[in-house]
Amino acid sequence: MATRQEILDKLTTVYDPEIAMDIVNLGLVYDIHENRGSVEIKMTLTTPACPLLDQLLSEIEAKVKELPGVDRVKIEIVWDPPWSPDRMSEKAKLALGMV
């Protein structure tokens, strides 16, 4: 079964389609639970009006399912707490010229 860290590592290969940064370093991933091959991910978006939401969710599901033992991926989009640039890692802030 995949560990939380393996799932996080896989999610760093998924990039926000509108910002050239992965969803983990952007601070979009809020929580991950793995239980017997089922992975639940709580995440948010930088904006509720993301036009590429379906594409992003499909990519997340496909990449996480590449991990050994993962059979099911459930992604819940949450808006509380709301995303802000404060949630970004230092790596993301530096790469996007915010430091």
Task: Give me the average pLDDT of each 10-residue run along the chain (99 residues).
Answer: 94 91 97 96 92 93 97 97 94 91
Q: What is the domain count for the chain?
A: 1
Q: For residue 51, what pLDDT is reported?
A: 85
Has residue 16 been placed in a domain? yes
Q: What pTM does this model have?
A: 0.92
Residue whose token pair is 């091959």: 37
Other Cβ atoms less than 10 A from the Cβ of 69: the count is: 12
CATH number at residue 71: 3.30.300.130
Q: For residue 20, what pLDDT is reported?
A: 85
Has residue 74 been placed in a domain? yes
On whether the CB atoms of residues 71 and 37 are closer than 8 A, the answer is yes
Measured distance CA(39)–CA(21) in Å, rounded: 23
Domain containing residue 63: 4-82
Has residue 91 been placed in a domain? no
Has residue 90 been placed in a domain? no
